[in-house]
Amino acid sequence: MAHFELLARCPTTRARVTRITLAHGATMLPTFMPVATQAAIKGLTPQQVESLGVTLILNNTYHLNLRPGIKVLSEAGGAHKFQGWNRNLLTDSGGFQLVSLSKFTTITEEGALFESPFTGEPTMLTPEESISIQHAIGADIIMQLDDVVPSLTQDRARVEEAMERSVRWLDRCITHHNLSGKRATQNLFAIVQGGLDLELRDRCVTHMIQRKNDVAGFAIGGLSGGEEKDVFWRVVKQCTDKLPEDRPRYCMGIGFAEDLLVCVALGVDMADCVFPTRTARFGVALTHNGPLNLRLAKYASDFEAIDSSCPCPTCVKGTSRAMLHHIIGRETAAAQGRSLLASVTIHNIVFQARIMGDARDAIMDGTFPDYLRTFFSNYFGDVGYPEWCVNALRSVNVDLLEGSDIKVVSGKGAKWEYSSTVT
């Protein structure tokens, strides 16, 4: 099993610095995991990703099972070798995409019944099958198959059923995994479900931590589905407060800077999201002062780098906003555009890694609350703090408003540079 060490704890918040050592090396936590859905981070080679200081990425089981398929991956000696990625890798269970991408998926106690994309025949993805596929892929961290319901589901009985079934499926995953002989190299994570209902979440955590000796970590699933952010953070906190100290905690599907830092303050160690890489492909570069939409005309003759203090190759080489604008502005220039969009992808991956790395340093130094205040003031100073961030951080003893005259805005508060602000 993974070697998991606690290196430092923030005396004020629930944040902590840990190190997880897996079959492909050590990864410092808290960390953000870029998503390589089809065994590639869009536009980048594994060498490029590695040079950015990334040590843990995510592959999607559903996609890899379709292409290249398990046979090819087995022949290659696993997904690491297939894609030339020598660092740590995490795969999801495939269940989430099954629900979101497949037609006619029905969940039964046996597993998820869906139309096979290969044959069109009804096919069952069972917890055992999900684990077997993930064994063939060979990721360092594998996820249990869970019963996912959309976070906005009103039917509490369905949410409760899904939560309880996820616990039963965890048991089947554990049994299958333990019998496989893969425990030495692959680490199974449980996924806490229970929707937005704090009582259901609490029961789920209680059941799952009873299985602690058989799981290497715990994920918080079923969020980031359009729920109120003020509800989101309360669910995360409910879970992290109760999850054991000696296991990593992974909040699935989050990637906005404010979400990441709030979650870290609440005790989350890992997160993943397609947002930073996807938004790059639409020409949006992430910075400490908020996102830059490089398609806007105001960048056409801006010869500054995206962020002159950024250590990414794009910024270090002085790639100007004007050049990025020149390339990104044209839909027709697909091939050329892609090479420069890769420059923005590189930048955004480094931005995510930086805010998490800086958080680690601040936690180690005992200055994490100051780091939070500085970050939020730079990021939201001009538009106002999202109220939910203020509330969430107050719950872990950090008051963003202390000594600040920055206003508070309700709602999601996510910051964006819309094209209506063209100057």
Partner 1 sequence: MISFSVASSSRFGPRTGNLTLRRPGTSVSINTPGLMVATSRGVVSHLGRDQYERTPALRVVQVPFESFLENSPPTPTLQPGPNPLHTFLGFNPNQHLLSLTLRDPADRRETPANGHDYISVSTGRGMKKITPDQWRAHVHACAPDLVVALPDIPWTLPPFSQKRTTKSIERTAAWLAHMLAPAPQPLNILVHMAGGIAEPARRAFTDSLTETLHGKEAESVRPHKCLDDGVSGYVFDLVPLRRALDASPDASRNDQQETVALLKASLTSAPSTKLRVANSAGSPHEILRLVRDVGVDIFDSKWAQDAAHLGVALDFTFPVSSVTGNQRDLGHNLFRTQYAHDFSLFADSAPACPCGACAPVASPTVIAHSAHDVHTPIAPTPYTRAYVHHLLHTHEMSAHALLVMHNLEVLDAFFAGVRGVIDGGSSFGDEVDRFVAQYSEAQAAIDEARTMWDVVNVARGKGRMARERADAVADD
How far is CA 144 from each of CA 6, 72, 184, 226, 231, rounded to the nearest angstrom? 24, 23, 17, 23, 25
Residue 403 found at the interface with partner 1 (CB under 8 A): no
**Distance in Å, CB of 389 to partner 1, minimum:** 23
Structure tokens at 264: 């870290």
Residues in Cβ contact with 121 at an 8 Å cutoff, skipping those fewer than 6 apart? 115
The active-site residue, picked from 92, 147, 259, 269, is: 92
Please tell me the count of residues contacting partner 1 according to CB under 8 A: 78
Q: How far is the CB of 174 from partner 1 (least distance, A)?
A: 31
The answer to whether 176 is a known ligand-binding residue is no
Task: Report the run of H or E that residue 81 belongs to, with start and end.
Answer: helix 79-83
Closest to partner 1 by CB, 229 or 360: 360
Tell me: is residue 94 an annotated ligand-binding position: yes
Is 399 labelled as part of a ligand binding site? no
Residue 239 marked in a binding site: no
Amino acid letter for position 122: P
Q: Which residue has the tokens 């094209």?
A: 419
Rounded to whole angstroms, what are the CA distances from 168 to 109, 172, 174, 193, 196?
Answer: 9, 7, 10, 12, 20
What is the residue-wise DSSP string for 253-293? T--SHHHHHHHHHTT--EEE-SHHHHHHHTTEE--TT--EE
Amino acid in the structure at residue 213: N
Residue whose CB is less far from partner 1, 144 or 345: 345
283 known ligand binder:
no
How far CA 271 is from CA of 252, 263, 297, 416, in Å, comes to 6, 9, 34, 21
Q: Which is nearer to partner 1, 52 or 192 (by Cβ)?
A: 52
Contact positions with partner 1 (CB under 8 A) in 33-72: 38-48, 50-53, 63, 66-68, 71-72
389 has binding-site annotation: no
Please identify, using beta-carbon distances, which residue of 144 and 343 lies nearer to partner 1.
Answer: 343
How far, in Å, are 9, 54, 376 from residue 361 at the CA level?
A: 11, 16, 17
User: Shortest distance, CB of residue 365 to partner 1, whole angstroms?
Assistant: 9
Q: How far is the CB of 3 from partner 1 (least distance, A)?
A: 14
Residues 93 to 122 in contact with partner 1, rule: CB under 8 A: 101, 115, 117-120
Binding piece for partner 1, criterion CB under 8 A, among 226-234, 360-368, 374-382, 414-422: 360-368
To the query of whether residue 272 is one of the catalytic residues in this protein, the response is yes
Name the one range near partner 1 by CB under 8 A: 169-177, 199-207, 254-262, 353-361: 353-361
Which of 45/404 has CB closer to partner 1?
Answer: 45
**Residue 95 annotated as lining a ligand binding site:** yes
CA distance 237 to 266: 6
State which of positions 240-269 bind partner 1 (CB under 8 A): none
Spot the catalytic one: 140, 259, 272, 307: 272
Q: Quick check: 400 and 413 in contact, CB under 8 A? A: no
Helix, strand, coil percentages, rounded to 5, for the chain? 45, 15, 40
Based on CB atoms, which residue is closest to partner 1, 63 or 211? 63
Nearer to partner 1, 52 or 268 (CB): 52
Report the distance separating Cα 13 and Cα 393, nearest Å. 8
Residues 309-338 that bind partner 1 (CB under 8 A): 311-314, 317-320, 322-323, 326-327, 329-330, 332-333, 335-338
CA 327 to the chain's CA centroid: 29
Paired tokens of 259 = 């979400």
- E-strand spans in 134-291? 141-143, 187-192, 217-220, 249-251, 270-272, 284-285
Establish whether 202 is an annotated binding residue.
no
Binding mask 362-401 for partner 1 (x = CB under 8 A): --x-------------------------------------
Q: To the nearest whole angstrom, how small is the minimum distance from the Cβ of residue 234 to partner 1?
A: 29
For the bound state, the minimum distance from the C-beta of residue 163 to partner 1, rounded and expressed in Å, comes to 29
Q: Which of 67, 179, 85, 69 is nearest to 139 (CA)?
A: 85
User: What is the C-alpha to C-alpha distance for residues 329 and 301, in angstroms, rounded to an integer?
Assistant: 13
Which residues, numbered 168-227, are part of the site for partner 1 (CB under 8 A)?
Answer: none
Interface positions, 119-138, toward partner 1 (CB under 8 A): 119-120
Distance CA 158, CA 387 (A): 31
92 is catalytic: yes
> What are the binding residues for substrate?
92-96, 146, 193, 222
Binding residues: 92-96, 146, 193, 222, 310, 312, 315, 347
> Could you give the residue numbers annotated as active site?
92, 272
